[in-house]
Amino acid sequence: MTGSPSGLFGELFVDGEMAAAMSDRALLHGMLGFEAMLASALEAESMAPQGTADVIARQCDPDLYDIVEIGRAATLAGNPAIPLVKALTARVAAVAPEQAKWVHFGATSQDVIDSGYVHVIGCGLKLIDLRLVRLASAMRVLAETHRTTPMIGRTFLQQAVPITFGVKTALWLDPLLESRHALHDILAAPVVQLAGAAGTLAALGDEGDRVQARFVELTLGAGSSLIPWHAQRHRIARLAAELGILTGNLGKIARDIGLMAQTEIGEVAEPEAPGKGGSSAMPHKRNPVLCTLILAAAQRAPSLVATMLSALPHEHERALGGWHAEWPTLPELFKVAGSALAQTITLIERLQVFPERMRANIDLTQGLVMSERVSLALAAALGKAKAHHLLEEASRACIAQNRHLREVLAAMPAVTEHLTAEALADLFDPTTYRGASDAIIDRVLARAAQAPLPRAAAPTREYRIIDA
């Protein structure tokens, strides 16, 4: 990761790359890009004189503006677009007074801010997409490497039946692939905003429709909606929900690994590093700090998603608070999801796996976890109910006598009449009790290995006018 957020918590909750993508400068860059493209559209449709777009674009460099000063003025104005447009107009007027009137012509503050956030969202989604690709690659390796590594499956936190670590990893991966497709679709179909004061572009008169179409063409190339979304926020809410789902699935991975890393279980361990996971009081501790941070993100994300969903009912043609609630919330959700992704990449790429401990935990109950398999084998001869009852009786004896279930069964004539010692031994081999595990793993790996999704172009052309 590049860069480091300053502060007492360092990069525990947000990494430098995502912080930069969600920064005030990134938003300012997008807002100025909107103004530059609007000028281009006005000139292309012969509303503004030739040369207007170039004059305005030259003043759309984020480095020309004082973010702190704009923020101070935004406190009084109610949003940052108002002081930004004022500052941009002043700069244009200083070099070409006759063209200053075309700055922000026909637009409204929400057009500027919404389109600015389209840029920010695009930057964030590209970063998340890259991280999902990297994480998926690491998890594919883990699933294939441990395709046949037996471990105990657990339901209600209790031992159930053997599975493989490969199938567990594949089931971690599958929902992440779904998230990548969903988020990539959003990245590939950005929708900018140019609708004017109440969504009708009335200030542009009969030219409004043509200017808007040209603006979208110049900005995105094609494909963006020409319908105003000042008060229709379903796309933003859907994006928030997808980020929340992604973060929750990362939390599932962290939860499983944290439980598997418990001292008494010891099946996996987080990557080792000097000073990592220590305790201020207990020198022997090796805390699962990556899992802790991923789970912290998973616990924070739902409230942020809820804020975005609660902001959906905007009043009439412009929201009274709902739109404003989105401003700090969506970037924070990107930071939370991005941080969780970064931590999960580190966790999975360097995860320590201990197959011998996995096997030891299968054997912990002296064969009880294989009772289902033996019962099914006996059912063919005894019937399902009788076989089940026989295994219940044998399981109680196993616990009471502290003997392996195989030994108890080998001493029961009702069992040995139908199963030889060799057959019993085979039935207690967890490596051969995989069911459809290989098929499940193959399906997930095939999905992960499909041709990579196409890299989406930059979300809007205005953001390439001036390098961020």
Residues recognised as catalytic: 279, 318
* Cα–Cα dist 228/238, whole Å: 17
Distance between CA atoms of 35 and 25, rounded to whole angstroms?
15
Task: Point out which residues pair with 353 in neighbouring strands.
Answer: 268
Binning the chain into helix, strand and coil, the percentages to the nearest 5 are 65, 5, 30
Beta bridge partners of 158: 155
Q: Which residue has the tokens 């395709």?
A: 147
- What is d(CA 192, CA 458) in angstroms, rounded to the nearest whole number? 13
**Token pair 């790359």 in the structure block, residue:** 17
H or E element in which residue 155 lies: strand 150-155
Q: How far apart are CA 332 and CA 390, in angstroms?
A: 57
Residue 34 · residue 108 · CB < 8 Å: no
- In this structure, is the dihedral angle defined by the CA atoms of residues 239, 244, 250 and 252, taken in order, positive or negative? negative
Question: What is the DSSP track for 344-394?
Answer: HHHHHHT-EE-HHHHHHHHGGGTTGGGHHHHHHHHHHHH-HHHHHHHHHHH
Cβ-contact 219, 461 below 8 angstroms: yes
List Cα–Cα distances, 68 to 65, 72, 84, 104, in angstroms: 9, 6, 11, 22
Q: What is the DSSP annotation of 91-111?
A: HHHHH-GGGGGGTTTT--HHH
Q: Which residues make beta-bridge pairs with 151?
A: 163
Reported as type and span, the H/E element at residue 197 is none
Asked if 205 and 294 touch (Cβ cutoff 8 Å), the reply is no
Contact residues for 205 (Cβ-Cβ < 8 A; gap 6+): none
Residue from 108, 304, 282 nearest 195 by CA: 108
Q: What is the rounded CA–CA span in Å between residue 108 and residue 21? A: 25
Three-class secondary structure of residue 13 per DSSP: coil
Q: How far apart are CA 394 and CA 401, in angstroms?
A: 10
Beta bridge partners of 152: 162
Q: In whole angstroms, what is the distance from residue 260 CA to residue 358 CA?
A: 9
- Between strands 158-164 and 150-155, the pairing is antiparallel
